[in-house]
Amino acid sequence: MANTEILEGLAAIVNEVAGTPVADITPDKAFIDDLDIDSLSMVEVVMACEDKFGVSIPDGEVKNLKTVGDAVSYIEKAQA
Q: Are 65 and 71 in contact (CB under 8 A)?
A: yes
Build a one-symbol-per-residue string for 1-40: x at contacts with other proteins by CB under 8 A, - elsewhere.
-------------------------------------xxx
Minimum CB–partner distance for residue 18 and other proteins (Å): 12
Build a one-symbol-per-residue string for 38-57: x at contacts with other proteins by CB under 8 A, - elsewhere.
xxx--xx-xx----------
Contacts of 58 (CB under 8 A, 6+ apart): none
Burial 14-23 (b: 16+ CB within 10 A, else e): bbebbebeee
Minimum CB–partner distance for residue 60 and other proteins (Å): 10
